C-alpha cells in the first residue's frame, strides 16, 4: 500500500482518471440548452424529428427500435422535469405510443398489417393473392362494437379481413386470430402453389387464387366433419350460395373451423366434439351472411368486458370436465373404469342423442358435465370428490383379470388349441402319418375340433359380458342385444354340435365324400356336416372379406343403415377405426410370412413334440393300477391319467410359447433379405 500516493503506479492512475473525466465532461456538456431538463427536451424533439419522420419506407425492426427509444426518452423527461414540457410534446408522445404499438407487432412468419416496405416473403405471388382474398369483406354486415377502450385516433376500418370479422362475431381471442390468419394464408398459398407449380413466381405475373384451390382446401379441412355428418345422417351446415360471394363464404367456413381448432386447446383431442361445435356455429354463420340484410348485427358469442367469450363460454366448460376426470384418475392410479379419458368423452358425440341431451347453447345441467366439489379437509391430500351426475364409460370399461389374455388374443388361442387337438388325433392313429387324415375314422375324430371351437366361442361370449359388466348400464340397446344374441347363439352351437355329432359317428364318411356335397346326395349326408357348414359360414364370409380388402373397406365406410345392420353382428358400431386396413399387396406379404412361419412351427411341433410322446402315452395308459407306498394325489383316476397329464402339460406350454422363437428366426431372415436388397444392412 502507498499511504501518501507517491508511487509511480498511483500517479499514472491519477493522470489517466483526470484525462477520462475531462473527456466525459466534453462529451456530456450541454449543447442544446442551459439546463438538464431543457437539454433532454431539446434532444427528445431533435431525435423525434430526425428519426421518426418519414419512417414508412424503413424496415419494421428499425422502426420498432426508434419508437422504443423515443418512448424511453419521454419517460426520462417526465421523471427529470415533470410539467416543464409543453402540451405539444404530450400529444406527440401519444402518437409515438400509438405508432409503437403497431410497429412492434409480433408475428410468426408473415408480417401482416405492419407499415413500411414489404418483406420478401410478402412478395410471393401466392401469398399476396391469399392476403388480398382474405381482405375481401365487402357485402358483409359489420358486428356492433361494445368496447369503450378503442382509441379514437385509430384510422382505417374496424374490421380488416374475414378472420377479424369472425373474431368479432364469435368472440375469439386476438392472438388466436393472428395465428390462424397466417395459418390460412399459408394453407391457401401452399395448395395453390402445388396446383400452379410456381409458374407465376417464375413468370412474374399477377396472380389470383381460383375456386379450385379453395375447394381442395375445403375437402382437406372438412373431411372429418363431412364424414361425421354422414355417419349421424345429418345435413351439413356448410351451405354455399350461388352468387359472386361464393369464395368469401367458403373462406369464412374454413376460417371459422380453424379458429375453433386454435382456441380449443386440449379439446383438440376430441375431434368429434369440435365437429359438434362447428356444426352449430356454421348454422349461425349462415344465418348472418345469407339470411340477415341489416348493415350491422349483434355478435353471436359475446361477454361484456372480455375478448375471450368463446373460450369462456364454450371451451372452458368442456375443459373443466377434462380437468375433473384427470383429478378423479389420481395420476392414473385409479381403476380405468372409474374415470373417463379423451376417447371416452369423445364417444359422447358419436350419437345423434347428443343434440337432445347437450343442446346448443350447451346445457350446463347436461349429464356430460361434472360438478367439481373440493373437500377442505382433504385439500392437502388432493382427495377430491366429484358428483356422480355424469355419464360413464360407454365401450371400454376395464376389469383387471388374467382372462384378458384369452379375450384379447382369442383368435390366436383358437388356432393353437384346435391345431393341437387335430395333431394329437392324427398322431394317435395307427399309422401316425399326416396322411392318416384321409382315413374315415381319423377324419371323423378330427371333426371334433368344431365342438371344441363352439366351446371356445361360448367361453369368449361369456367373457365379453363379464369383463364389460361395469359398462353394461351405459351401452346402447343395439350393443346390449348384440352381446346377448352372441351369448345365446354360442350356447346354441355348443349344444347343437355335440348332439349332431352323436348321429354323425353312426354314419361315418371320409374327407372326399364330405367335400363332394351336391344336390343329389343332400339327404344322405350326416346332419353334423351341414351343421358344421352352417357354423363355419360366417368365418368363410370373413375370410372372403379378408382377401378382398377394398370391398371390406368400402362396406365399413358405408353409412347405409342396411349395410351397417349387416356389419352390426361382426363388430361394434364405432365412428373411428373403420376400414383401417393395409393394401392387398402388403396383406399378402404379411399373410405369406405367417403361413410359412406356422407351417414350420406346426411341422416341428408334430414331429418333435407331439408324435414322440404318443408311444409312451399308450404304454402308460395300458399299465394297471400298481400298489405304491407313496401317497397318490389322485387315487380315483383310472389308466394313470395324472401321469399322462404331467407329461403332456409342459409340452403343451412349450407348444404355445415356441411361436416367439419361430417369429424371431423368420424376422431375422426377412430382415436380412430386405436389408440386402435395399442396401441398408439388417433390418
Q: What is the mean pLDDT of residues 601-615?
A: 93
The pLDDT of residue 569: 78
pLDDT above 90 (res 419): yes
The model's confidence at residue 60, banded by pLDDT at 50, 70 and 90, is low
Sequence-ordered list of residues with C-beta below 8 angstroms from that of 682, at least 6 positions apart, any chain? 668, 671, 672, 675
Q: Which of 151-165, 233-247, 254-268, 297-311 has the lowest mean pLDDT?
A: 151-165
Cross-strand partners of 142:
296
pLDDT for res 524: 42
Q: How far apart are the first and last CA of the chain?
A: 76
- Is 50 exceeded by the pLDDT of residue 380? no
Which helix (DSSP H) or strand (DSSP E) does residue 537 occupy?
A: helix 527-547
Q: Which residues contact 104 (CB under 8 A, 6 or more apart)?
A: 64, 67, 68
Confidence label for 34 from pLDDT (cuts 50, 70 and 90): low
pLDDT of residue 478: 77
Main-chain dihedrals φ then ψ at residue 85, nearest 5 degrees = -95, 160
CA 49 to chain centre: 56
Q: Looking at residue 479, what is its pLDDT?
A: 79
Least confidently predicted of 184-193, 403-412, 432-441: 403-412
Per residue in 131-149, pLDDT (tens digit) is 999 998 888 888 887 654 4
Q: How far is the C-alpha of 377 from the C-alpha of 330, rounded, in Å?
A: 17
For residue 177, what pLDDT is reported? 93
Q: What is the pLDDT of residue 149?
A: 45
In what helix (H) or strand (E) does residue 297 lie, and over which residues does it extend? strand 296-297
On the question of pLDDT at 425 being above 50, the answer is yes
Instruction: State residue 7's pLDDT score.
Output: 65
Categorize the per-residue pLDDT at 372 as very low, low, confident or very high, splitting at 50, 70 and 90: very low
Tell me which of 632 and 202 has the higher pLDDT.
Answer: 632
Q: Looking at residue 105, what is its pLDDT? A: 59
Tell me what pLDDT residue 511 has.
Answer: 45
pLDDT digits 0-9 by tens, 456-483: 999 999 988 888 777 676 677 777 888 8
What is the distance between the alpha carbons of residues 256 and 283, in angstroms, rounded to a whole number? 11
Report whether pLDDT(92) > 80.
no
CB 231 within 8 A of CB 575: yes
Contact 114, 103 (CB under 8 A): yes
What's the rounded Cα separation, in Å, for the pair 496 and 450?
Answer: 11
Confidence of residue 101 (pLDDT cuts 50, 70, 90): low
Residue 383 binned pLDDT confidence (cut-offs 50, 70, 90):
very low
Q: Can you give the pLDDT at residue 95?
A: 62
* pLDDT of the residue at 683: 56
pLDDT given for residue 621 in this prediction = 83
Per-residue buried b or exposed e for 63-92, using 16+ beta carbons within 10 Å of the residue's own CB: bbebbeebeebbeebeeebeeebeeebeeb
Whether 180 and 256 have beta carbons less than 8 Å apart is answered as no
Tell which wins on pLDDT, 455 or 124: 455
For position 504, what pLDDT does the model report? 65
CA distance 325 to 266: 13
What would the pLDDT profile of 486-503 be if each residue is shown by its tens digit?
999 999 999 999 988 887
pLDDT of residue 188: 94
Q: Please answer whether residues 417 and 452 qualify as being in contact, where contact means their C-beta atoms are separated by less than 8 angstroms.
A: yes
Q: 181 and 112 in contact (C-beta within 8 Å)?
A: yes
Q: Which of 170-179, 239-248, 632-641, 673-682 shows the lowest mean pLDDT across its residues?
A: 632-641
Predicted confidence band at 333 (pLDDT cuts at 50, 70, 90)? confident
Task: Give tens-digit pLDDT for 207-229.
Answer: 788 889 999 999 999 999 999 99
Of 91-105, 111-125, 306-320, 473-487, least confident by mean pLDDT is: 91-105
Between 255 and 562, where is the model more confident? Answer: 255
Residues 398-405, mean pLDDT to the nearest whole number: 72
Give the best-scoring range by mean pLDDT among 369-383, 397-411, 640-654: 640-654
DSSP label of 386? E
Look at residue 322 and tell me whether its pLDDT is greater than 70. yes
For residue 395, pLDDT over 60 is answered with: no
Of residues 278, 247, 254, the one with CA closest to residue 139: 247
Q: Tens digits of per-residue pLDDT, 148-163?
A: 444 433 444 478 899 9
Q: Which residue has the higher pLDDT, 75 or 226?
A: 226
Confidence at 381, pLDDT banded by 50, 70, 90: very low
SS3 379: coil
In this predicted structure, the answer to whether residue 12 has a pLDDT above a threshold of 80 is no
The Cα 281–Cα 222 span in angstroms is 14
Q: For 136-152, b where at least 16 C-beta lie within 10 A, e where not — what string?
A: eeeebebbeeeeeeeee
Say if residue 361 is preceded by a cis peptide, omega within 30 of 0.
yes
pLDDT in tens, 168-190: 999 999 999 999 999 999 999 99
CB atoms within 10 A of CB 4: 6
Mean pLDDT of the chain: 79
Residue with cell 384379447: 408
Q: For the chain, what are the domain ranges?
A: 31-103, 120-307, 313-386, 406-425+433-531, 601-678
What are residue 297's DSSP bridge partners? Answer: 143
Residue written as grid cell 361382426: 570
User: Which band of pLDDT confidence, cut at 50, 70 and 90, is reported for residue 378?
Assistant: very low
CA distance 678 to 683: 10
How far, in Å, CA of 369 to CA of 314, rounded? 12
Amino acid at each position: 500500500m502507498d499511504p501518501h500516493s507517491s508511487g509511480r503506479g498511483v500517479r499514472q492512475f491519477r493522470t489517466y482518471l483526470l484525462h477520462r473525466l475531462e473527456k466525459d465532461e466534453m462529451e456530456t456538456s450541454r449543447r442544446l440548452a442551459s439546463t438538464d431538463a431543457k437539454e433532454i427536451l431539446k434532444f427528445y424533439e431533435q431525435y423525434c424529428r430526425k428519426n421518426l419522420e418519414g419512417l414508412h419506407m424503413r424496415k419494421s425492426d428499425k422502426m420498432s427500435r426508434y419508437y422504443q427509444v423515443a418512448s424511453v426518452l419521454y419517460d426520462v423527461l417526465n421523471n427529470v422535469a415533470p410539467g416543464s414540457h409543453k402540451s405539444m410534446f404530450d400529444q406527440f408522445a401519444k402518437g409515438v405510443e400509438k405508432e409503437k404499438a403497431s410497429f412492434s407487432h409480433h408475428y410468426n412468419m408473415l408480417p401482416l398489417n405492419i407499415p413500411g416496405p414489404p418483406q420478401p416473403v410478402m412478395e410471393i405471388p401466392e401469398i399476396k393473392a391469399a392476403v388480398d382474398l382474405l381482405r375481401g369483406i365487402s357485402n358483409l354486415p359489420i358486428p356492433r362494437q361494445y368496447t369503450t377502450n378503442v382509441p379514437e385516433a385509430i384510422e382505417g376500418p374496424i374490421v380488416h379481413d374475414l378472420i377479424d370479422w369472425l373474431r368479432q362475431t364469435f368472440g375469439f381471442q386476438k392472438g388466436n386470430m393472428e395465428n390462424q390468419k397466417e395459418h390460412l394464408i399459408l394453407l391457401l398459398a401452399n395448395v395453390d402453389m402445388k396446383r400452379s407449380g410456381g409458374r407465376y413466381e417464375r413468370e412474374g405475373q399477377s396472380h389470383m387464387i381460383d375456386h379450385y384451390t379453395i375447394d381442395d382446401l375445403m375437402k382437406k379441412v372438412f373431411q372429418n366433419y363431412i364424414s361425421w355428418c354422414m355417419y349421424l345422417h345429418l345435413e351439413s351446415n356448410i351451405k354455399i350460395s350461388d352468387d359472386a360471394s361464393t369464395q368469401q363464404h367458403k373462406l369464412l367456413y374454413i376460417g371459422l373451423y380453424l379458429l375453433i381448432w386454435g382456441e380449443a386447446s386440449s379439446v383438440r383431442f376430441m375431434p368429434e366434439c369440435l365437429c359438434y361445435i362447428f356444426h352449430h356455429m356454421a348454422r349461425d354463420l349462415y344465418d348472418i351472411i345469407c339470411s340477415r340484410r341489416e348493415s350491422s348485427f349483434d355478435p353471436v358469442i359475446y361477454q361484456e368486458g372480455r375478448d375471450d367469450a368463446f373460450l369462456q363460454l364454450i371451451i372452458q366448460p368442456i375443459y373443466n370436465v377434462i380437468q375433473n376426470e384427470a383429478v378423479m384418475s389420481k395420476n392414473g392410479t385409479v381403476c380405468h373404469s372409474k374415470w373417463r379419458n379423451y376417447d371416452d368423452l369423445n364417444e359422447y358425440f358419436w350419437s345423434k342423442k347428443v343434440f337432445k341431451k347437450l343442446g346448443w347453447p350447451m346445457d350446463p345441467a347436461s349429464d356430460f358435465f361434472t360438478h367439481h366439489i373440493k373437500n377442505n379437509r382433504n385439500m392437502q391430500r388432493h382427495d377430491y370428490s366429484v358428483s356422480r351426475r355424469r355419464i360413464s364409460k360407454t365401450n371400454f370399461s376395464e376389469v383387471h383379470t388374467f382372462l384378458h389374455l384369452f379375450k384379447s388374443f382369442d383368435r390366436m388361442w383358437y388356432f393353437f388349441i384346435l391345431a393341437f387337438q387335430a395333431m394329437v388325433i392324427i398322431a394317435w392313429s395307427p399309422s401316425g402319418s399326416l396322411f392318416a387324415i384321409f382315413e374315415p375314422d381319423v377324419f371323423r375324430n378330427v371333426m371334433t375340433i368344431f365342438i371344441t371351437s363352439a366351446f371356445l366361442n361360448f367361453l369368449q361370449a361369456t367373457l365379453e359380458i363379464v369383463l364389460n359388466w361395469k359398462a353394461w348400464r351405459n351401452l346402447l340397446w343395439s350393443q346390449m342385444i348384440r352381446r346377448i344374441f352372441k351369448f345365446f347363439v354360442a350356447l346354441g352351437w355348443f349344444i347343437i354340435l355335440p348332439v349332431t355329432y352323436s348321429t354323425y359317428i353312426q354314419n361315418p364318411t371320409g374327407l372326399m365324400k364330405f367335400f363332394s356335397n351336391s344336390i343329389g346326395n343332400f339327404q344322405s349326408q350326416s346332419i353334423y356336416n351341414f351343421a358344421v357348414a352352417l357354423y363355419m359360414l360366417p368365418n368363410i364370409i370373413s375370410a372372403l372379406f379378408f382377401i378382398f380388402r377394398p370391398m371390406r373397406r368400402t362396406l365399413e365406410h358405408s353409412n347405409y343403415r342396411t349395410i351397417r345392420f349387416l356389419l352390426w353382428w361382426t363388430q361394434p358400431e364405432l365412428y373411428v377405426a373403420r376400414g383401417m386396413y393395409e393394401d392387398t399387396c402388403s396383406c399378402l406379404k404379411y399373410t405369406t410370412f405367417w403361413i410359412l412361419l406356422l407351417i414350420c412351427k406346426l411341422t416341428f411341433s408334430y414331429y418333435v413334440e407331439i408324435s414322440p410322446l404318443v408311444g409312451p402315452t399308450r404304454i402308460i395308459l395300458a399299465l394297471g393300477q400298481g400298489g405304491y407306498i407313496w401317497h397318490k394325489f389322485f387315487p380315483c383316476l383310472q389308466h394313470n391319467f395324472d401321469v399322462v397329464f404331467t407329461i403332456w402339460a409342459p409340452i403343451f406350454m412349450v407348444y404355445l410359447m415356441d411361436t416367439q422363437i419361430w417369429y424371431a428366426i423368420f424376422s431375422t431372415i426377412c430382415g436380412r433379405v430386405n436389408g440386402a436388397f435395399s442396401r441398408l444392412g439388417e433390418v
